[in-house]
Amino acid sequence: MSEIQSKEEIGMSDLFNSSPKQLNRRELGKVVVAGALGATQLGWSRSAFAQEGPWKRFGAQSSGTKPEIKLICLCPANATDEDLLFYKQVGVDGVHLDGASSPGREIGEITPGQEGGVPSEDYTVENLQRLKKRFADAGFYTEIPFPGHVSNYEDIVLNRPGRDKAIEDYKAGIRLMAAGGYDYIPTTFNVTVAAVSGQAVVRGSHARDFDLNSPELGGTYGRGLGSKRASANSLLFGREYTKEEMWENYTYFIKQIVPVLEETGVRIGFHPDDPPCQSLFGVARIFSSLENYKQLLAIANSPNVGVLLCCGTWAEGGAAMGTDPEGAIRYFGPRKQLFEIHFRSVTSPLPHFNETYPDAGYYDMYKIMKPLVDVKYNGVVQLDHTVAMVGGLHTYQAFALGYMRALLQRAQREDGA
């Protein structure tokens, strides 16, 4: 895929057509939400998926006394039993449910994040519980995107007239997640998510490219951009939004949702702005440095608000971040403010980078696993985004997860764990 494509063109929101074994709605009712029945849908024994290891204590933070680093990856919410067998074979501990990360699909862009995944009609307490049970029965911890349909997030981020209603809807979404059995929300606080300028060729594969000086920047699945393409300085949201204004908007939002987070026990982890430039399309980027994160945590002043440290995004920022990914881990980890790690590699810092294989970037990815072990991090490390390979997503996941596990095992051996 040589050109930027929209979410619709590559089927990023087409959950029910993302499996190599195409299933109609009735069949999905049997496989996806049947819980215990799903493991026998293809004639395989559920015992084939039993988890032998310690991952029977579910939750983003283990309840055990020994810290555990859990490796997870994107997984179609309508995964087949063959998919689940694959995930067991490569040794992952959990999955982040999503609609477009389909085995067999050649995705040249990044896979969708908070906006992708399960269709809005499936966000009911019953369906969320059934989805979680199906993957738990197979031995996996499960993350799911926040139900984006319940709230117009742009109104919150940009303080539009519908902000107060959107925040009330967001609170309802938190309660829905909690009732469905999910205690963690990965999110951002911007309106462009991950911007792109095109595609780069990496060892014969296609991957996201970003050039801050390109006149054709867009958001493959960015909120509010659609198919718009423009320069970084274009005012795509009608006017300029300053840093002071964006901090006020964040403060207003977080002060209202913290009581609901603490009431329900749900935690929220904020992802850095991707890319972490000072401003994009006229909107200031306020989660783009170590000092920014200290400020956002101080404003929230809650153990339920923390850091989703995307190491790829952090590496994109380079020296402007105030520290490298290792330094961020060593700062937030001992403070128990590190809620999740996204594992991704890039070729260089801004102004121009492209995503690449984990062994081919400019930053030594061992410098991520080693400090996680050193600070006794007890949580999730997610394989983030994809590089399109022959054979589809499973090929890339097998390669990258094997690389991740090797780094983790080396760090644990050196630590004596």
Query: What does the pLDDT look like over 378-397, one tens digit per residue?
Result: 999 999 998 999 998 899 99
Domain ranges of the chain: 15-415
- Confidence class of residue 99 from pLDDT cuts 50, 70 and 90? low
Distance from C-alpha of 333 to C-alpha of 384, rounded to nearest angstrom: 20
Per-residue pLDDT at 188 exceeds 90: yes
- Confidence class of residue 194 from pLDDT cuts 50, 70 and 90? confident
Which amino acid makes up residue 69?
Answer: I
Per-residue pLDDT at 360 exceeds 70: yes
Per-residue pLDDT at 7 exceeds 80: no
Answer for the pair 170, 257: CB distance below 8 angstroms, yes or no. yes
Collect all residues with Cβ–Cβ distance below 8 Å to 108 and sequence separation of at least 6: 1, 2, 5, 10, 199, 206, 207, 388
Per-residue pLDDT at 26 exceeds 60: no
Tell me the mean pLDDT in the region 44-68.
42
Answer for the pair 218, 191: CB distance below 8 angstroms, yes or no. no
CATH, domain range 15-415: 3.20.20.150
**Buried-exposed string 324-359: b where 16+ CB fall within 10 A, e elsewhere:** bbbebbbbbbeeebbbbbbbbbbbebbebbbbbbbe
- Provide the sign of the torsion angle of the four alpha carbons 42, 44, 45, 49, taken in this order: negative
Question: What's the pTM value of the predicted model, to 2 decimals?
Answer: 0.81
Percent over 70 (pLDDT), the chain: 76
Collect all residues with Cβ–Cβ distance below 8 Å to 215 and sequence separation of at least 6: 229, 230, 231
Tell me the mean pLDDT in the region 307-329.
98
Answer for the pair 12, 221: CB distance below 8 angstroms, yes or no. yes
- Confidence class of residue 105 from pLDDT cuts 50, 70 and 90? very low
Distance from C-alpha of 40 to C-alpha of 136, rounded to nearest angstrom: 15
Per-residue pLDDT at 18 exceeds 70: no
Lowest pLDDT segment from 73-82, 293-302, 366-375: 73-82
Answer for the pair 352, 393: CB distance below 8 angstroms, yes or no. no
| Mean pLDDT over the full length of the chain | 81
